[in-house]
Amino acid sequence: MKAEVISIGTELLLGEITDLNAAYLASQLPLLGIDLHFISTVGDNRQRLIETLNHAWQRSDIIITTGGLGPTEDDITREAIADFFHEPMSIDQSLVSQFKELFKHFNMEMPESNIKQASVIPSCQVIPNPRGTAPGWWVAKDKHVIIAMPGPPGEMQQMWLSMVAPRIQREFCDAIIFSSTMKTFSLSEAKLGEITRSFLLARNPTVGIYAKPDGIHLRIAAKADSLDEAKNLVKATTDELRPLVGDYIWGADTDTLETIIADLFIRKNFSLSTMETDTGGILANTITNVPGSLQFFKCGIVVNRSELGEGFGIDKNVISRYGPLSPEAVSEMASSVKREFNTTVGLGLAGVVENGDAAHKLGTILIGIDDGKQTYAFQRTYPGTRLQIKQRAAIAALFELRKIML
């Protein structure tokens, strides 16, 4: 079963709003086991919409449009569908009565222009809109269906969940799709591609590789007759992949490194303090993006590299002997904040985010962690802009922190 989504609205083509409806439907269709093959975006232009419906009809079974069902002149979805099927439009008087009731309920008079929204064609079945005055259309012909839904995301999602998705499942579905994401860090996309090559060529489950700011993600998706069966297929592939990818895996699905750290620290009743130089607070900021993080995050110091050694219990000799960009310095930073703020763990982070030189290349990152038993230091180099290096530094620090705390 092939589906296609058509988003309608000139404002989408001007970049004035982001198309949330297509992304929503894209995330919903796999749950029904339906493959979404295309998303098209067209302006409020009847001819171009008809052209797009033509292409869609030739290649897809289920065509879902959003937008263009409003009461104004530039709303042309109904007209385009009528033209596409060569069917005449007429006003459905029972819909007009419903609209009038609705406006009466809000003590308003129905504007004349709303009558346009009561238009129908002989082949269309009206889909009620519990949240607005734009009814949807369900037009089935020759084993194809065009489903027209309103553009406002709240109205569209309500209509989708309560009426459209159940009907599609009843009339079109046999298979179910389930997917899961494995998240890795510290491995390049290419390297992960090599390790998992045989999986990338498989058809069911399919495995896809995606580069994200927090590392490379592997998505495993399976199609089956039942949800259990699809889950089992995904699990079998995940179990095969796990030993190949090993310690680079840090989480799955909706996990972020900061939620994993928060879970771990809150569960074990640990506390954390940090000291950063060049990364300017991105580590503290990332950690405290998680609800409840203030339960375990006691203190974060951001200090200029040139002032390192003035206060916070730092041993000035370590800094003057090894320099502020050294494993010794970040270890000292970690131990100092751990001691000063009396936390389970202390973390020190430094790096070169601008003006690298021969001794310290741009993108060099130093991480120090003191867990009370031992002090660890790590050095990495990352490409990218200042912001990317900062972000990568915070993620690398949380990745190493997770490994040590487990």
Q: Tell which positions 52-91 bind a copy of itself, by CB under 8 A.
A: 52, 55, 59, 70-74
Query: How many chain residues are in contact with a copy of itself, going by CB under 8 A?
Result: 109
Q: Which of 50, 61, 235, 280 binds a copy of itself (CB under 8 A)?
A: 280
Quote the distance between the C-alpha of residue 169 and its chain's center: 25
C-alpha separations of 145 from 83, 160, 292, 336 in Å: 16, 15, 47, 67
Q: How far is the CB of 123 from a copy of itself (least distance, A)?
A: 26
Rounded distance, CA 277 to CA 283, Å? 11
> Can residue 42 be called a binding residue for a copy of itself (CB under 8 A)?
yes
Q: Which of the ranges 31-39, 141-149, 160-168, 237-245 carries the binding residues for a copy of itself, by CB under 8 A?
A: 31-39
Q: How far is the CB of 339 from a copy of itself (least distance, A)?
A: 13
> Can residue 184 be called a binding residue for a copy of itself (CB under 8 A)?
no
Rounded distance, CA 98 to CA 96, Å? 5
- Cβ-based nearer residue to a copy of itself, 260 or 353: 353
Q: Which of 182, 283, 334, 349 binds a copy of itself (CB under 8 A)?
A: 283
- Cβ-based nearer residue to a copy of itself, 88 or 383: 383
Q: Which of 90, 93, 97, 188 binds a copy of itself (CB under 8 A)?
A: 188
> Can residue 243 be called a binding residue for a copy of itself (CB under 8 A)?
no
Q: How far is the CB of 144 from a copy of itself (least distance, A)?
A: 18
> Can residue 142 be called a binding residue for a copy of itself (CB under 8 A)?
no
Q: Which of 279, 326, 336, 375 binds a copy of itself (CB under 8 A)?
A: 279
Q: Name the token pair of 276.
A: 């950063």
> Can residue 154 be called a binding residue for a copy of itself (CB under 8 A)?
yes
> Can residue 200 be called a binding residue for a copy of itself (CB under 8 A)?
yes
Q: How far is the CB of 292 from a copy of itself (least distance, A)?
A: 7
> Can residue 252 be called a binding residue for a copy of itself (CB under 8 A)?
no
Q: Which of 269, 358, 383, 406 binds a copy of itself (CB under 8 A)?
A: 383
Q: Which residues of 76-110 are buried (b: 16+ CB within 10 A; e: fewer)?
A: bbbbbbbbbbeeebeebeebeebbeeeeeeeeeeb
- Cβ-based nearer residue to a copy of itself, 114 or 335: 114
Q: Which of residues 304-323 bind a copy of itself (CB under 8 A)?
A: 304-305, 307
Helix (H) or strand (E) holding 365: strand 364-370
C-alpha separations of 378 from 318, 329, 351, 387, 403 in Å: 17, 12, 11, 20, 12
Q: Name the token pair of 124.
A: 């269309």
CB of 46 within 8 A of CB of 179? no
DSSP state string for 213-273: TTEEEEEEEEEESSHHHHHHHHHHHHHHHHHHHGGGEEEETT--HHHHHHHHHHHHT--EE
Q: Which of 100, 381, 404, 405 binds a copy of itself (CB under 8 A)?
A: 381
DSSP state string for 73-141: TT--HHHHHHHHHT---EE-HHHHHHHHHHHHHTT-PPPGGGGGGGEE-TTEEEEP-TTSS--EEEEEE
Q: Which of residues 325-364 bind a copy of itself (CB under 8 A)?
A: 341, 354, 361, 363
